[in-house]
Amino acid sequence: MNRALLGLLSVPLLAAAAPPAPATRPEAPRKSGTARPNGEDDAAGWSLLDGVAIQADDRAVTFSQVQTFLERQVKGQAVSTQAQRQEQLQKARDAMVLQSLESQAGQSLGVDKAQVDHVVDRSMADLRRDRGLTGFQDYLAEKGENGLTYGEQQTRDLYRELWERKELGEPALGERSTRDDFVRPSALYTAYAVNKDALGQPDQVRFQLLDLLSRAAGGDEACRERAQELRGEAVSGEDFGKLVLANGATLRENLGVTDFYPVPYLTDEDLRNFAQSAEADDISPVLPIHDERGRLVGYRVVRLDARQAGTPAPPFTDRDLQEGLRRRLRGTWQDRRLGEARDDLRSNAYIWTSPLLGSQEPPAPGTGAAESPSAGPQGR
């Protein structure tokens, strides 16, 4: 059944992401009078043109609708591997489930359907007038729609918007706002105080790293002693790049020089502490190197190659700053409300997806961390 369905649908992304068909399959009984669209007889006797891919409460979504949505979603993106196809298919599936539930929730609000149809008809009429008949048809073709399906999609989108506005307490179709989104001065100042460091531009630093690995030096203690010797040479004026080229385990092709990193976002605590007060050409003490599991794997000496001064946050009295904080706070509140409402929709809904759309859960991430140190400091 899977092979016949995918062959008749002729949808490359769906076919590529679908699970493999079993090696053997009993042949279905032949039915007379059935043929493929191209006129050839179907070996299985059936002519399956489409099917239900997703059932979300009362709405069924077909494979062709999923394919159209998927093509729009991946347009302009490089999708070549099986993992990428499966990831895009899962995103399309989840998005279509959620959109179906939201549009049905909007329909259940009891808004006059004639009013909704009037808004959609007027929107389509405006689009035809602005683009002309030929431009309007080209626009629909680009989206993989026709006049009927485009109108249906616009109706569903309008119901989704009504549901979102209802959850956010915003006015819709003549109704009054039901939620107070005024940002109190105390909330505004708290947001400023908590995020003050992020509102400005922090100092950025570039390092030159001389990394030594314990396994190459004959043990942790021998590695630490060798790092101490090389630090003494650097402090005495030896060219740090030559020391890295002759002894370094990482970034030798760059003579140990890293990119610029914002100081507050350095995840290595020793590097961050050194960078907070160091000036250009300062040499750090010998610092430990740990792998992703926190195990000691070597030692390093760090030279601060360059420092770029940041800019402080604007004062709280800055009007543009306050307006930006208000927008961010409202956006955060709205995202939280919609997230909670969508979780409720999913938890209370009946959802079924065809096995042809792949596994219900995304693939588990790979395991097995490397035990060698990173090539440089990592920013959050």
- DSSP-derived letter for residue 354 is -
Is residue 321 within a helix (H) or strand (E), and if so which, with residue range? helix 319-347
Task: Tell which wins on pLDDT, 50 or 52.
Answer: 52
Owner of token pair 């190459």: 216
| pLDDT reading at 32 higher than 90 | no
pLDDT digits (tens, 9 = 90+) for 157-207: 999 999 999 999 887 766 677 788 889 999 999 999 998 878 888 899 999
Nearest Cα residue to 17 out of 264, 363, 273? 363
SS3 at position 144: coil
19 token code pair: 């699970």
264 token code pair: 């507050």
- What is the bridge-based pairing of β-strands 296-308 and 52-56? unpaired
Q: Which residues pair with 289 in a beta bridge?
A: 298
Of the given ranges (26-35, 53-62, 86-95, 291-300), which has the lowest mean pLDDT? 26-35
- Which pLDDT value is given to residue 47? 52
Helical H segments across 79-204, by residue range: 82-107, 113-142, 147-168, 185-194, 196-199
Q: Which CATH architecture has domain 201-308?
A: Roll (3.10)
- Which pLDDT value is given to residue 18? 46
CB contact at 8 A, 112 and 158:
no
Confidence of residue 375 (pLDDT cuts 50, 70, 90): very low
Confidence of residue 74 (pLDDT cuts 50, 70, 90): confident
Cβ-based burial of 119 (10 A; exposed 0-12, middle 13-18, buried ≥19) = middle
Taking the C-alpha atoms of residue 184 and residue 188, their distance in angstroms, rounded to an integer, is 6
CA 236 to chain centre: 49
pLDDT digits (tens, 9 = 90+) for 203-214: 999 999 999 999
| pLDDT reading at 150 higher than 80 | yes
Strand ranges in the chain using DSSP code E only, listed in sequence order: 52-56, 59-62, 204-213, 257-262, 287-290, 296-308, 351-353
Taking the C-alpha atoms of residue 181 and residue 314, their distance in angstroms, rounded to an integer, is 25
319 token code pair: 């009007």
Amino acid at 268: D
Taking the C-alpha atoms of residue 276 and residue 327, their distance in angstroms, rounded to an integer, is 32
Domain ranges (residues) in the chain? 186-194+316-350, 201-308
HSE (side-chain half, CA atoms, 13 Å) at 30: 6
55 token code pair: 């059932």
For the beta carbon of residue 160, count every other beta carbon within 10 angstroms: 20
- Which pLDDT value is given to residue 80? 79
The mean of the pLDDT values for the chain is: 82
Confidence of residue 226 (pLDDT cuts 50, 70, 90): very high
